[in-house]
Chain A
Amino acid sequence: MSGLNGSLSIALSALSVSQQALATTSNNVANANTPGFSRQRPVLAAGDPVVVGSLTFGTGVVLQKIESLRDPILEIQLNQETQQQSKLDTSLGQLRQIQTQFGSASSGIGADISNFFNSLQQLAPDPSNLALRQSVLTAAGNLATDLNNTAHSLQTQRSNLDLNIVQSVGQVNTLTAQIASVDRQISSLENAHQDASSLVDTRTNLIRQLSGLVDVAVIPTDQGISLALSNGTTLVSGSQSFALSAQLGSDGVQHILAGGQDITGSLKGGSLAGLIQIRDQEIPGLASSLDQLAAGLANALNTANKTGFDLNGNAGGNLFAPPPVGGVGAAATLRVSITDPALIAASSDGTTGSNGNLAALSAVHDQAVANGQTPLDFYSNIVFQVGIATSNTSADVDSSNLILQQLQDQRGSLSGVSLDEEAANLIKYQTAYQAAARVVSTVNTLLDVAVNLGK
């Protein structure tokens, strides 16, 4: 293979490899801003040598492969942190929405409780005054309305979460179907020993999106990959995807089913888990606390009102419509049952000027009405719980964001396209091409000399 023809063939291999290397470089430059793209580099090797007698001649350069630079372990970490981060971020958004209901100390349920008991105190110096009695009823009405509104807002938020969950399940199914389809293409390319790196990038990107929704783990198999949730549910196996479904449960909320099995409670990461946690734990917990407060207050005040006499000298009745037995729904349905201010039982002996029973009504302020706590202690504890849940989640989101950012930096340092580097490569391969072309032209001149040798 030595000789001028050999040199020509070597130069040709150099021309061809340089062109391919240039193509890789331009592909990198083109995809510098493509999300999830891993930079590629040509792997060059010297051609198999030819031995002639005692001499060994090189045969030029070959392009072994175009390799994508990515770290599978890093991708797994990124997936896991994405799951954690999107669960926390989703929870935080919902918690922030919840806590607006409990935001101000000078308005809202807490202030309503204070104002109601204060209105009772105001009535004490002049118990037969109808204007003062009316302000007691107004304060009681405000308390009931604010409890109603807060309970309704929580309920509305819960219904919206339900819608969100159904939409997220749809997104999961779209993504798993896409992943399965990409996986099929990758398998067929790889079986034909062709390069599938850009499809692998697409798949990695899709899996990252899926990680934003559910706690999916990637398991490499002989036929591509399989995807499973941490509870064992398979979402993608080989080129087949298995859809999740959402179904209205007997408890009135949407449940997530995988092959007939309810997996609602076992999702650990991704925004879906965050949505479910708020819908099934935070909001019901809060709603039940509000019910406890509303029922406790209404029952205690009704009892106290019945021990006295109203302005007409009749025995007192209920101040609030009796809350449902067991208290469920008490906050949403609480209402003042009397409209006539004369019916407030301020008197302890039936005379119009007596304020003796106001003391009994006022005493509810310091009575254990819910969970062994006074109304206001119980309420301020709710405020504390809402606040601490939000601030803890917020801190968790911050740290998760930092970790994610670091992982993305790491990924970028390995897989990201550097334009400086690509520019340098461009010069390198351009020069190599120019040099090889020069060799061709030199060989051509020499061949010309050889051809015209006999003339």
Chain B
Amino acid sequence: MRVNPNPMPDLLAALNQAKLESQQASIEIASGRSVNEPSDNPTAAALLVENNDQATFNSGYLQSLNSVQGQFSTADSTLSSVVTALQRAISLGVEGANGTLSDSDRGAVATELQGIQSQLVSLANTSYQGRYVFAGTTTNTPPFVVDNTVASGVRYAGNSGVNQVSIGSGYKLAVNLPGSQLFSAAGNDVFLAINTLIQALQTNTGIDTAVSGVGAASSYLSAQRVFYGNALNQSQSQTTYLNTAKLQISQQENTLGGADLAAAATNVSQAAIDTQATLAAISKLSQNNLFDYLK
């Protein structure tokens, strides 16, 4: 059979193929990715869109956690100071209940308690990054206002709103307790308890009852404070979880679209060998034909 006397187009196609493979492998090595355009692996390209979403949200959750943790710590340490202040109020009350004290001594104790009362108002109006922590969702105005027309002497101007923040896929965390629930809950109103104690000391009647009232408010507040402790714990363990997930997501990304550098490097050198072999074939081919021997 007669063979095609002009193998050049075939050889050029082979050269082109080798160049293409080398180029593909070089792109893979340079970008560190095997999926550089959707056609490289359509399924992986589609999954990488979802993977990027997971990665974006994962780092978003971590950022949110970072932000709410600051708020939790502020609230928790504020409540700790409140409890300390209440303990001080109780010891002052017990001191004032001592029958040996004169009216003026009790008056002095009552004055000190008034100081504690204003300290408590200021603690209850604690803000974090410009937002009042215990105001429910009316975070732009101080939630507790001194108002002598009410029995406790302090009026709650916030609301009972509770915000939730997503800290994981389908995992929402309540991030605040409204001040009404913490400081002015019916039966355990901190300000009312202190005010009652002040009045009891001033009138020297029912001091013991008033002191136990402050004690009850203090225990109540300590129990409520657990909310922030729990929230801190939850956010810390969620942070650990999200950091693990971050690793998994980036591993998944690598599995889907990462470059196989060893394979790509092999492809580059294979393509170089192919190219050289083809070039050698071309140079040999064009050298000889019968005309060369006709002298």
Task: List residues of chain A with CB under 8 Å of any chain B CB.
Answer: 95-96, 99-100, 102-103, 105-106, 110-111, 113-115, 117-118, 121-122, 124-129, 347, 349, 351-356, 359, 362, 376-377, 379-381, 383-388, 390-391, 394, 401, 405, 408-410, 412-414, 416-421, 423-424, 426-427
User: At the interface, yes or no: B257 with Cβ under 8 Å from chain A?
Assistant: yes
The total of Cβ contacts below 8 Å across the A-B interface reads 185
CB-CB < 8 A to B61: which residues of A? 121
Contact A102 B38 (CB under 8 A): yes
Binary interface encoding of chain B residues 1-41 relative to chain A, with 1 for a CB under 8 A from any of its CBs, else 0: 11111100110010000000000000000000000111111
CB-CB < 8 A to B37: which residues of A? 96, 99-100, 103, 387, 390
Binary interface encoding of chain B residues 46-62 relative to chain A, with 1 for a CB under 8 A from any of its CBs, else 0: 11111111001101110
User: At the interface, yes or no: B164 with Cβ under 8 Å from chain A?
Assistant: yes
Nearest first, the 10 closest Cβ-Cβ pairs linking A and B are A387-B38, A353-B139, A387-B42, A412-B4, A418-B5, A423-B290, A390-B39, A105-B48, A354-B137, A384-B46
CB-CB < 8 A to A412: which residues of B? 4-6
For chain B, residues 37 to 89, give those with C-beta under 8 angstroms from any C-beta of chain A. 37-43, 45-53, 56-57, 59-61, 63-64, 67-68, 71
Would A409 and B46 be within 8 Å (CB), given that A386-B38, A419-B289 are in contact? Answer: no
Contact A105 B294 (CB under 8 A): no
Docked CA distance A124–B162 (Å): 12
CB-CB < 8 A to A351: which residues of B? 136-139, 159, 161
Contact B290 A355 (CB under 8 A): no
A-B contact pairs, 6 of them (CB 8 A): A99-B37, A126-B131, A129-B129, A384-B46, A413-B1, A413-B3
Q: Would you give the shortest CB distance from B70 to chain A, in whole angstroms?
A: 9
In the complex, which of the residues B37, B129, B257 has the most CB atoms of chain A within 10 Å of its own CB atom? B37
Docked CA distance A420–B39 (Å): 46
Q: Which of A121, A356, A383 contacts B57 (CB 8 A)?
A: A121
Q: Which of B13, B49, B135, B172 contacts A380 (CB 8 A)?
A: B49
CB-CB < 8 A to B10: which residues of A? 405, 409
Q: Would you give the shortest CB distance from B179 to chain A, in whole angstroms?
A: 12
Q: Which of A110, A129, A355, A405 contacts B163 (CB 8 A)?
A: A355
CB-CB < 8 A to A416: which residues of B? 4-6
CB-CB < 8 A to B138: which residues of A? 351-353
Docked CA distance A380–B36 (Å): 15
CB-CB < 8 A to A102: which residues of B? 38, 45
Q: Which of B39, B140, B290 contacts A128 (CB 8 A)?
A: B140
Q: Which of B1, B6, B53, B289 contacts A110 (CB 8 A)?
A: B53
Consensus secondary structure, chain A interface = helix
Contact B163 A353 (CB under 8 A): yes
Docked CA distance A118–B61 (Å): 8
Docked CA distance A356–B164 (Å): 7
Having A128-B131, A390-B38, one finds 9 other A-B pairs with CB under 8 Å, namely: A105-B52, A121-B57, A124-B165, A351-B136, A351-B137, A352-B140, A353-B136, A355-B165, A409-B10
User: At the interface, yes or no: B243 with Cβ under 8 Å from chain A?
Assistant: no
Docked CA distance A418–B294 (Å): 16
Task: List residues of chain B with CB under 8 Å of any chain A CB.
Answer: 1-6, 9-10, 13, 36-43, 45-53, 56-57, 59-61, 63-64, 67-68, 71, 129, 131-132, 135-140, 159, 161, 163-166, 172, 175, 257, 289-291, 294
Docked CA distance A426–B293 (Å): 13
Contact B166 A387 (CB under 8 A): no
Q: Would you give the shortest CB distance from B253 to chain A, in whole angstroms?
A: 8
Contact A124 B49 (CB under 8 A): no
Q: Would you give the shortest CB distance from B233 to chain A, in whole angstroms?
A: 18
Contact B46 A381 (CB under 8 A): yes
CB-CB < 8 A to B163: which residues of A? 124-125, 127, 353-356
